[in-house]
Amino acid sequence: MLKTGTIYGINGPVVYLKGNTGFRMSEMVYVGKERLVGEVIGLTSDTTTIQVFEETTGLKPGEEVTATGSALSVILAPGILNNIFDGIERPLSEIAKSGGAYISRGINVDSLDTGKLWDTHMVIEPGQTVYGGTIIAEVPETSAIVHKVMVSPDLEGTILSVVPDGSYTINDTLAVLQTPSGDEVNLTMTQKWPIRVPRPVNKRFPASKPLLTGQRILDTLFPIAKGGTAAIPGGFGTGKTMTQHQIAKWSDADIIIYIGCGERGNEMTQVLEDFTKLVDPKTGNALMARTTLIANTSNMPVAAREASIYTGVTLAEYYRDMGYHVAIMADSTSRWAEALRELSGRLEEMPAEEGFPAYLASRLSAFYERAGMMQNLNGTEGSVSIIGAVSPQGGDFSEPVTQNTKRFVRCFWGLDKSLAYSRHFPAIHWLTSYSEYINDLAPWYAENVDKNFIDYRNRLIAILNQESSLMEIVKLIGSDVLPDDQKLTLEIARVIRLGFLQQNAFHPEDTCVPMSKQMKMMDIILYLNKKAKSLVSLGMPISVLKSEPIFEHIISIKYDVGNDELEKFDDYKKEIDDFYDRVLEKNA
């Protein structure tokens, strides 16, 4: 018998029931005649508080609320990829079709298509002992991804029977399992998992591999590890969405979960259009074949927005369990935090900083701590990386969402308004940004890119830091007073900023750059620095050096040398040598 209660009060997305309902905390409920989806978020002996994930307009006191007996959960099975959901995993195919419309409320739709037949290849046999996580079947879910059907983490036992390979729906029985206590359980493709509970793993590995993005400032200067966390804070229009799109398109993650929280609806439509058209360079498949979108645009209910990041990370963990590397983009966690604030306000809780509830930090950490490189229950290795955009009012990083996020992420890619205004993109500022993964990743770079990689990277940063302190002096007394070697540092820093850090997302070659080219670009800039420095130390005036075209040539390498034309770097080395000889001759 499912427990029921009666609505006593309604305040926006929050609904109160009087009396002891017997509901449990975090239980999923159906609210009112329209059976709106809700979740129990507060319980006392005489009041039950529920947040409703759909519009409550028209809901009346006296209507009934029915408990479901289980926590707010998502359905996990083939059909998640190449799909778009709202914050509680209801499909939003409407958004794709009409560009904006969303699901009407109270409609009891299945999260995933239950009628679709999937080509299924069984990989277990009768008599086999299986555990939570054991892969029992493989299903080509999209052209890019093979879905591994697994035993639910809380089950184990002996396989009694297995169906032959063939076409099955997600609810068809694929195998029968006998538990140690003798119960028989039908195994299907479907699992159900509560969104607020991390899926179990065997163990967590330390960070050891970068999540490569093809973006130079990220991969070379401030890399994120696979299984790592990063924040992209930035004011209005500084490039948060663009940066996340670039990572979604080009990173070497197997699967992308893109959570649009509270951003404009047309941006989500844009993502859909872009990703459907875009071809994954690695596989030749459409990008959507490895992508899931979760959309809770600004016009959709706030409670579902609150849930959306946990729904997203649960889907990500599920694919991680299959042995995939998954990257989550959340745009923007500030809009998510605003949903938290709005709900907290409705509940009349005591506000903390700037009206955000005191549990803002713990809720953020409940999201970010689910990232990681893991050994899964079935022994495979997979990862969930989380990249959250933060949109602080006026770009002021001292506000609570940015500050609290900073506590839980290990990469900070700070976007800068003045860089964006001067059209230096990506507007990630090298002086405010950092990555705490550098030491963890150094061995990987040494082995897979170049043994000098980290050293070169540190030298680039050192030059940029010197530029920043020199600019303090220049601001006060002008650049004329600087000695020539310092003027050269400014010139080389300019080459680094324009030639290396600036990267054009709209340029076919420059939009995604392999590590090999990033390394060569650093190498050539540092070679130019070395040669020019020795000219300066031989007394050659900086004005003569700067009259040479070499600096501009090095800056436009990013456009002039294709990603697969790395042999051209030899010509540039020669050009630098010629420049060196020429300047020496001129001043002999």
Ligand X SMILES: Nc1ncnc2c1ncn2[C@@H]1O[C@H](COP(=O)(O)OP(=O)(O)OP(=O)(O)O)[C@@H](O)[C@H]1O
Nearer to Mg ion, 241 or 518 (CB): 241
Instruction: With contacts defined by CB under 6 A, name the span among 159-167, 232-240, 455-463, 473-481 that binds ligand X.
Output: 232-240
Length of the chain: 588
Residue owning tokens 């029977």? 161
Q: Which of 193, 425, 430, 500 binds ligand X (CB under 6 A)?
A: 425
Two tokens at 454? Answer: 């980290």
Burial readout 495-514 (b: 16 or more C-beta within 10 A, e: otherwise): bbbbbbbbbebeeebbbbbe
Q: How far does Cα 388 stand from its chain's mean position?
A: 6
Q: Which of 504, 534, 547, 556 binds ligand X (CB under 6 A)?
A: 504
The reply on whether position 152 binds Mg ion by CB under 5 A is no
The reply on whether position 242 binds ligand X by CB under 6 A is yes
114, 170 contact by CB (below 8 A): yes
Binding to ligand X, residues 281-320 (CB under 6 A): none
Dihedral sign of CA atoms 138, 141, 144, 149 in order: negative
How far are the Cα atoms of 52, 56, 141, 301, 468 from residue 104, in angstroms, in the given order? 14, 12, 28, 12, 54
For residue 404, the partner it binds in ligand X, Mg ion, none, with Cβ less than 5 to 8 A by kind, is none
Q: Which of 234, 265, 312, 395 binds ligand X (CB under 6 A)?
A: 234
End-to-end CA distance of the chain: 98
Nearer to ligand X, 507 or 546 (CB): 507
Instruction: With contacts defined by CB under 6 A, name the span among 168-176, 273-281, 392-400, 498-506 that binds ligand X.
Output: 498-506
The reply on whether position 430 binds ligand X by CB under 6 A is no
Nearer to ligand X, 38 or 235 (CB): 235
For residue 506, the partner it binds in Mg ion, ligand X, none, with Cβ less than 5 to 8 A by kind, is ligand X
**Among the listed residues 194, 193, 191, the one whose alpha carbon sits nearest the alpha carbon of residue 27:** 194
DSSP 8-state assignment for residue 566: G
SS3 476: helix
Nearer to ligand X, 244 or 344 (CB): 244
Nearer to Mg ion, 240 or 424 (CB): 240
Nearer to ligand X, 380 or 503 (CB): 503
For residue 426, the partner it binds in Mg ion, ligand X, none, with Cβ less than 5 to 8 A by kind, is ligand X
The reply on whether position 244 binds Mg ion by CB under 5 A is no
Binding to Mg ion, residues 159-178 (CB under 5 A): none
SS3 102: coil
How far are the Cα atoms of 165, 184, 491 from residue 587, in angstroms, in the given order? 80, 90, 20
The reply on whether position 237 binds ligand X by CB under 6 A is yes
Helix axes 515-537, 569-586, angle to 10 degrees: 10
Nearer to ligand X, 21 or 238 (CB): 238
Residue owning tokens 């184990």? 156
Nearer to ligand X, 293 or 542 (CB): 293
Nearer to ligand X, 498 or 505 (CB): 505
524, 572 contact by CB (below 8 A): yes
Say what the alpha-carbon torsion angle 9, 14, 18, 24 is, to the nearest 10 degrees.
160
Least Å from the CB of residue 250 to ligand X? 11
DSSP 8-state assignment for residue 559: H
The count of chain residues that interact with ligand X, using the rule CB under 6 A, is: 14
Least Å from the CB of residue 174 to ligand X? 43
244 CB burial (10 A radius; 0-12, 13-18, 19+): buried
Q: Which of 49, 333, 391, 404 binds ligand X (CB under 6 A)?
A: 391
**Among the listed residues 353, 370, 250, the one whose alpha carbon sits nearest the alpha carbon of residue 388:** 370
Question: Cα(405)–Cα(333) distance, rounded to whole angstroms?
Answer: 9
Least Å from the CB of residue 243 to Mg ion? 9
The reply on whether position 233 binds ligand X by CB under 6 A is no
285, 142 contact by CB (below 8 A): yes
Spell out, one character per residue from 193 to 232, where the chain touches Mg ion: x when CB under 5 A holds, - when not: ----------------------------------------
The reply on whether position 397 binds ligand X by CB under 6 A is no
Q: Which of 142, 169, 213, 241 binds ligand X (CB under 6 A)?
A: 241
Burial readout 325-352 (b: 16 or more C-beta within 10 A, e: otherwise): bbbbbbbbbbbbbbbbbbbbbbeeeeee
Q: Which of 90, 105, 240, 520 binds ligand X (CB under 6 A)?
A: 240
Instruction: With contacts defined by CB under 6 A, name the span among 158-166, 229-237, 370-378, 476-484 that binds ligand X.
Output: 229-237
Question: Cα(534)–Cα(545) distance, rounded to whole angstroms?
Answer: 11
Question: Cα(141)–Cα(282) distance, rounded to whole angstroms?
Answer: 18
For residue 57, the partner it binds in ligand X, Mg ion, none, with Cβ less than 5 to 8 A by kind, is none
Number of residue whose CB is nearest Mg ion:
241
Instruction: With contacts defined by CB under 6 A, name the span among 239-247, 357-365, 402-410, 529-537 that binds ligand X.
Output: 239-247
Instruction: With contacts defined by CB under 6 A, name the span among 91-99, 238-246, 274-282, 481-489 that binds ligand X.
Output: 238-246
Q: Which of 21, 220, 241, 297 binds Mg ion (CB under 5 A)?
A: 241
Q: Name the site residues for Mg ion (rule: CB under 5 A).
A: 240-241
Q: Name the site residues for ligand X (rule: CB under 6 A).
A: 234, 236-242, 391, 425-426, 504-506
